Structure 1
Amino acid sequence: MENISEILLNSAIYAPFVFAIMLTFSWKFIGAKMSGGIALLSSVISLICGLGVCGCFFFTPEGYNSFVFASRLGILPEFALSALSMPMLALAVIVSFSATVYSLSLEIKNAKLYYILLLVMQGGLFGAFTSTNLLWIYMFHEFALIPTFIAMVLWGSVGKRMAAMQMAIYLTLGALVSLIGIIAVYASSLASDFSIVSISSALTTQHIDASWQKTIFGLLLFGLGTLVSLFPFYTWAPRTYACAPTAFAMLHAGVLKKFGLFVLIQVAVPFLPEGCFQWVNVIAVLALVNVIFIGLVTMAQRDLKLMVSYSSVAHMGLCFLGIASMSVLGVGGAVFLMFGHGLSVALMLMLSNIIVNRTNQWDMFKMGGMYKQTPILAGFFIAGTMASLGLPMFANFWGEITILTSLWDFSPTVCALATTGIVISAIYGLRAVARVFMGKPSKELTERISSIADISKIERVAAIVLVVALVFVGVCPKVISEPADALLKSLPAYNQGK
């Protein structure tokens, strides 16, 4: 099974790069529609192979910690699947497929370049979550990040240049600080290379001083925290997601944003447990600001796309609170919420863009009454909202409930404050449903309401894939919880929490 898994994993990762190169060198011979077809073929291959290797991983009898395989091509980066990277790879291939399908419903100028950038971003995402080498993890992250800048400038909406500049400044600084932290981990471990396995092995004999651990972890926290939009380095995110082309916003907010959390959980905390322990109170305070303050900012938004964008920032606070607990339950909940939130925010960004395009209106207060005209669109929007609120039957539920349970042991006060953030999210989520779909159409929408079309067949496919994934994991949580718990229990760092 290991050989099959290796083939599937490498196929999922390299397919986007191969097809992007094909599009690049056949520039004059392939039209816009064929470019979209090639991108769709690539995303289908990655989806099938990615979910296939995740299935092989889950049913591997040897155990969740021993299922490691890599490319044998020598000069190429090596890839492996762990209990933490498995749900992230599944998330990446699912959102990539939906983003590509949704793109097919759009009329895009210079479509070839658009799909080349989309494929490069997808390949970067797959590599970032499965590489076994810290430098390659960083490089794949940059592969995924750069296309977002270019796409925003070329196909973004009003305010795109300012948003792209702000994003470039914040994320470049965050990436550089993170790189310094990664190099510091490697240098302090005295490992032979940047491989995660080599560094982990070296740290069994080479202890890093607690004060130096605190410094290195601080670099990683604020560098990676900037990439995840942890307060106060969050202002780049909402405007970016509102201005970026929807497919790229789906991939960035839904998947790439989880990169910082992934590295903290898989690398920073296990390698620097004493350093993390000295930062947990700071993490908890900053995360609560994300949950409550940015939640209130979200509630004040009238722009539908900005509301969804701010909500994605607010929900990241819960993931950081799970990490702050330093417990198997809390960190496992963070992994769950990373997966569930990635699907739900991608769905909501896509649906909000469809609504804005249909109504030619961004202000929720100038909408209303769309339910009768667009019942299927309304159904998907309500499902996405319910998932975002963490209702049972959706993947987000398991993440939120386990994080809150772990926080009760960490600090009842922090748990209570985090719960208020969930109440705030319910207010702005349900208000959005009411403003857009319920009641009577606004004066601005009354004349056009009869001409507004419901969600198209292509858009339905993109939405259905995301909703099915949310419900499947919500009903069968063990596909994530069993492997994650087995791995986290084997790491001493995650047994410090109560």
Structure 2
Amino acid sequence: MLLLLVLIPIAAFLAILGGAPARKTAVAAGVANLVLGVWAAFTWKAAMWSMSVPVLAKPALNLAFGLDGMSAVMVLLSVIVTLAALLSGKSPEGREKLYYGSSLLIAAGAIGAFAATDLFFFYAFHELALIPTFLMIGILGRGERKETAWKITIYLGLGSVILLAGLVWLASLAGTFDMPSMVKAVQDGSLVIDAASQKGIAALLIIGFGVLVSLFPFHSWAAPAYASAPAPTAMLHSGVLKKFGLYGLLRLAIPMVPEGMNAWLVPLLVLLLGNILWVGLVTVNQKRLDLMLGNSSVMHMGYIFLAIAALAASHTGSPAVGYLDAAGNAVTTYTLGNFTNTIAQPAAILLMFAHGISIAMLFGLADKIERSTGTLELTDLGGLAKSAPGLAFLFGMVGMASIGLPGLANFAGEVMVFLSGFQNYDPAKGLGPVQIACILAIWGVVISAVYMLRAYRNIFQGPQVKATTDAADLSFADRIPALILAIALLAVGLYPNLLLNLLK
């Protein structure tokens, strides 16, 4: 069944190439995947969501898919944003096949990467999704699209090569490409990776995954890429595909090379503060809405890295967590592995979902602003709320979510991230590196409020200007993708356990 989530968008892509109506076919595939993805996410423990098909005997490669709580949340994020992206934006005349076909392939690659349990296909599906991303920016993008496409190709290509080296190193030590088996071997002690190898592998994974996530200082590709990309590409990459690197660190680096991750803790904290503080100040200085949103996306990755760092810092060095059940019997569990921080991983996953929904909605609405006014220059806009009150309301809502307003999903994720940094705090020992980073990172909340509130004021408030006088409000068709994403933000914001229960 899980294979259908990958095959449906690929089949729709092939149908579009064969002459089927591009938009109708793509949207139908998006609706089908949303229904199937929601079903999969909330019933992920059922055996029907696991499958494995042998592809190669030696080395053993299997087209294997399976879900746990973390991958279920990421699949849910993927199908929600995919449908919203397919409904957003406007295809250039005569480019419908490329526009919708590429969006479907990006979605298929992202879902395949999150659902794959074989290391080869985990990597391969992500690379599949990058190809249409490059094409969409280089062919259908705006501004200096060709230069931007080459820049993102070089950056992400190098990051993927570095990542591949780390993954191959891990697989060679484990003797298998099956990721659950690799992790279980480390947790039960049958695979012991020495400290030097752990440190080397962790460095490769941090840099490789970090480039894909736009970890400072490997971040300069992201904002120009999103500013140049068509709306569906910006929504899918910033909202979904960029989470692959964070997911990979949680899926592989944290459980398999915990000592290595812990060895790089302080450098990682310094880099993530670069995301939050340095890139945050860069975001404040932006004069175009699309560049501001692109930089804000880079900035908010720092919070998720902070949760990952808090988890790495809680490594105890013991192979498992032991406890006594109600009958007094000794029980060993590998649910948390050898980490004592119980908040960090759920915090990272919740914030990944929340950020993915909010940034996708922001880019979708930014595209509508540009199509209505002809510009995204903040100084050329003003008073748009008078002619487009529906757009002003929805943008205000998602803008407040982005800066952490209570009642919306981002708030729950950010609060959990900060709590995770202090879960193991011991006043007798004083502040540790993670706690110091948390205190500094809180200033990012202030920075976010500055750039988002200023942008909202410049775009929607004040007297109307030439660009906004005759601007159209959101049509019924424009409201549908925005409302899909807004409902997700509200549902998870008001009841975070909707997702957190999936992680149990």
Q: Same fold (TM over 0.5)?
A: yes
Q: Deviations over 1:19-66 (max 9, x none)?
A: 112222x24xx4xxx111011111111000000111213xx5x8xxxx
Is contact 1:68–1:80 with CA below 8 Å preserved after alignment? no
| Among candidates 375, 378, 382, match of residue 396 of structure 2 | 382
Find out whether 1:475 has 2:489 as its counterpart: no
**Which moves more between the two structures, 279-288 or 166-175?**
279-288
Provide structure 2 residue ranges, at least 5 long, that are not aligned to the other structure.
Answer: 56-61, 312-340, 426-431
Q: Secondary structure at the match of 1:118?
A: helix
Aligned counterpart, 2:460: 437
User: 1:148-183 deviations in whole A, cap 9, x for unaligned?
Assistant: 101111110011011111100100000111011001
Among 84, 92, 95, the alignment partner of 2:70 is: 84
SS of structure 2 residue aligned to 1:84: helix
Which residue among 301, 305, 308 is the counterpart of 1:323?
A: 308
Choose from 143, 151, 158 the match for 2:143. Answer: 158
Q: Give yes or no for contact 1:11–1:45 (8 Å, CA) kept in 2.
A: no
Is 1:20 the counterpart of 2:3? The answer is: no
Q: Whose helix fraction is larger, Structure 1's or Structure 2's? A: 1
Contact 1:68 1:81 in 2 (8 A): no
Distance 1:95 1:14 in 2: 17
Instruction: Spell out, residue by residue over 1:275-308, the C-alpha distance to the aligned partner (whole angstroms, 9 max, x if none).
Output: 1111111111100110001000000001011001
Amino acid at match of 1:453: A
Residue 39 of structure 1, aligned match among 8, 26, 36 = 26
Shift >6 Å, 4+ stretches: none
Contact 1:329 1:402 (8 Å CA) reproduced: yes
What percent identity do the matched residue pairs reach? 36
1:460 maps to 479
Give unpaired runs (5+ residues) of structure 1: 1-6, 487-498
TM-score by length of 1: 0.89
* Alignment partner, residue 199 of structure 1: 182
Whether 1:185 aligns to 2:170 is yes
What displacement does 1:360 show?
1.4
Aligned to 2:124, the other structure's residue is in SS state helix
Q: What RMSD in Å do the two structures reach over aligned CA positions? A: 1.5
Structure 2 equivalent of residue 272 of structure 1? 257
| One-letter amino acid matched to 2:51 | S
Aligned pairs, how many? 458
Which residue, 38, 41, 52 being the options, matches 1:51?
Answer: 38
Amino acid at match of 1:392: P
Aligned to 1:341, the other structure's residue is in SS state helix
Pair 1:422-2:445 in alignment: yes
Distance in 2, matches of 1:170 and 1:359, equals 33
**Residues 406-447 of structure 1: CA distance to partner in whole angstroms, max 9, x if unpaired?**
223354322211100111001101111101001112xxx33x
Distance 1:20 1:74 in 2: 25
User: Is the 8 Å Cα contact of residues 202 and 253 (structure 2) preserved in structure 1?
Assistant: yes
Offset at 1:479? Answer: 2.3
For 1:230 and 1:330, how far apart are their aligned partners in 2?
19
SS of equivalent residue, structure 2 residue 276 = helix
Kept in 2, the 8 Å contact 1:88–1:339? The answer is yes
Q: Does the alignment pair 1:111 with 2:99?
A: no
Tell me what 1:289 maps to.
Answer: 274
1:399 to 410, 413, 416: 413
The letter for the 2-side match of 1:422 is V
The residue type equivalent to 1:47 in the other structure is L
Cα contact 1:295–1:425 (8 A) shared by 2: yes
Give per-residue Cα distances to partners, 1:223-277, cap 9 Å, x unaligned. Answer: 1000000000000000000001110110000000000000000111101111111
Q: Which residue of 2 aligns with 1:490?
A: none
Secondary structure class of the residue paired with 1:86: helix
Match status 1:128 vs 2:113: yes
Aligned residues of 2:138 and 2:145 also touching (Cα < 8 A):
yes
Contact 2:286 2:292 in 1 (8 A): yes
Aligned partners of 2:138 and 2:148 also within 8 Å: no
